């Protein structure tokens, strides 16, 4: 017969482990001395404290042995609970019930708090939240939901990343997206387009096989318009590249820093160099251009000699400009992450990262349940980016990066389970991360 450890009284545990409660052992020697008019209370208690520090009051090995014994019972009880949970899953499948039953789980936590001693009540909610999350994950795995994500994952195949391809980028010759494309492909056939929307159109229509888009910067943050395109277009990320960005201030030959009154660049580059612009001697103002390379081109074509561009050293060579100042970004470690998108998902090279767009129900704890499920499945999340949902006030969608890919056991379990916790769960692709 198993020991009923759940009903053991705290006093019994203290006694068995060698711990004595108040009044259970000998009286404090210093108190007896005080009563007899002996040494002062402060002095004797200090001496007693020193003695306590010198001699442990518990046998650590014995305590750990007792904990190990209790843990063995916990493991047995947990497995029995999960086997019953399997029966519950079968019932829910037969009757069409949802796995998550909020009323039932709230009642379970409330009951656990009632049964627990006062000092342990605070731990009941996280304990039972974890137990019930593992039970839900087990049930979802048994039910084997055929979600859209699971279907998408099944058709993703491995392929060799092409050395040459038709690649669309936004901007002109020398743009950072152009540089990223030349790093991603050995011999890209690059087409330069006016906007990021045009890049997506080219890929969707088949005019380009791939598109290269800047997704986020380590200083200025996410590129919101590109995130919006990832949400609205049916494209997939097939590779990602992180490139160190070194901004230079470019101007026509013979122009000095003191001559500059207006600085052209992309809004992200201007944001990354705000401190430098503010320190220019000519009280220069910032002027937004569609692209850093287009800013350099505009300076080269302008009749004015009081304008400069924040761009790259490559653009200085391309457009015949001088570098007035090098590496001018406010943060020395300034990186931009570019994504290569295609019409269909594919596993090129050695992919390690998968991306998703999710929308959770607008109720308390909805996002927590998604994150808890990832933790239960042992999946490492490397990014969680929130974005407002258009037309839904103060509601948000989330972009999630995780370190697993189709074919991994954890990914396949996630593909069946995570969509059941979300209103929307859209697969954005699995890919290799490279550094330029």
- What residues are designated binding site for substrate? 64, 81, 92, 101, 105, 135, 139
Question: Phi and psi (nearest 5°) for 147?
Answer: -80, 165
Identify the residue whose tokens are 């653009």. 315
Which among 238, 181, 150 is positioned nearest to 415, based on CA atoms?
150
CB 122 within 8 A of CB 69: no
Identify the three-state secondary structure at position 391. Answer: coil
- CA torsion through residues 324, 273, 217, 226, sign: negative
**CA-to-CA distance for 430 and 183, rounded, in angstroms?**
19
Residue 4's nearest CA partner among 63, 110, 53, 76 is 76
Structure-token match 């954005």, residue found: 428
322 burial type by CB count under 10 A (0-12 exposed, 13-18 middle, 19+ buried): middle
CB 340 within 8 A of CB 242: no
Residue with the two structure tokens 């122009």? 255
65, containing H or E segment:
helix 60-95
| Parallel/antiparallel/unpaired status of strands 353-359 and 424-435 | antiparallel
Q: Which residues are annotated as a binding site?
A: 64, 81, 92, 101, 105, 135, 139
Closest CA to 68 of 128, 10, 17: 17
CA distance 351 to 405: 7
């Amino acid at each position: 017969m198993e020991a009923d450890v759940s009903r053991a009284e705290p006093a019994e545990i203290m006694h068995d482990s060698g711990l004595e409660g108040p009044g259970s052992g000998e009286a404090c020697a210093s108190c007896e001395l005080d009563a007899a008019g002996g040494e002062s209370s402060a002095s004797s208690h200090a001496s007693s404290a020193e003695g306590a520090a010198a001699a442990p009051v518990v046998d650590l090995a014995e305590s750990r042995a007792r904990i190990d014994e209790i843990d063995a019972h916990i493991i047995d009880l947990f497995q029995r609970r999960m086997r019953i949970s399997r029966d519950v899953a079968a019932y829910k499948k037969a009757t069409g019930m949802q796995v998550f039953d909020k009323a039932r789980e709230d009642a379970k936590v409330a009951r656990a708090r009632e049964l627990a001693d006062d000092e342990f009540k605070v731990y009941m909610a996280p304990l039972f939240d974890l137990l019930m999350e593992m039970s839900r994950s087990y049930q979802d795995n048994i039910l084997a939901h055929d979600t859209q994500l699971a279907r998408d994952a099944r058709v993703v195949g491995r392929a060799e990343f092409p050395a040459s391809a038709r690649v669309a980028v936004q901007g002109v010759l020398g743009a950072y997206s152009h540089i990223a494309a030349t790093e991603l492909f050995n011999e890209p056939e690059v087409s330069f387009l006016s906007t990021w929307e045009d890049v997506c159109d080219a890929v969707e229509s088949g005019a380009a096989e791939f598109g290269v888009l800047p997704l986020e910067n380590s200083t200025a943050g996410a590129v919101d318009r590109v995130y919006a395109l990832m949400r609205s277009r049916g494209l997939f990320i097939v590779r990602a590249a992180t490139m160190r960005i070194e901004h230079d201030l470019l101007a026509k030959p013979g122009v000095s820093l003191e001559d500059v009154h207006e600085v052209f660049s992309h809004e992200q580059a201007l944001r990354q160099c705000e401190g430098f612009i503010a320190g220019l001697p000519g009280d220069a103002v910032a002027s937004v251009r569609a692209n850093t390379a287009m800013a350099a081109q505009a300076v080269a074509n302008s009749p004015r000699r009081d304008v400069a561009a924040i761009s790259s050293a490559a653009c200085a060579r391309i457009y015949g400009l001088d570098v007035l100042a090098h590496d001018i970004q406010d943060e020395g470690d300034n990186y931009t992450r570019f994504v290569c998108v295609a019409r269909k998902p594919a596993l090129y090279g050695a992919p390690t990262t998968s991306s998703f767009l999710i929308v959770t129900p607008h109720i308390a704890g909805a996002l927590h349940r998604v994150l808890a499920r990832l933790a239960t499945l042992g999946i490492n999340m490397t990014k969680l980016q929130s974005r407002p949902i258009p037309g839904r006030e103060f509601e948000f969608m989330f972009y999630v990066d995780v370190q697993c890919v189709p074919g991994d056991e954890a990914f396949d379990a996630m593909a069946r389970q995570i969509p059941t916790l979300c209103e929307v769960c859209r697969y954005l692709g699995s890919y290799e991360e490279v550094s330029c």
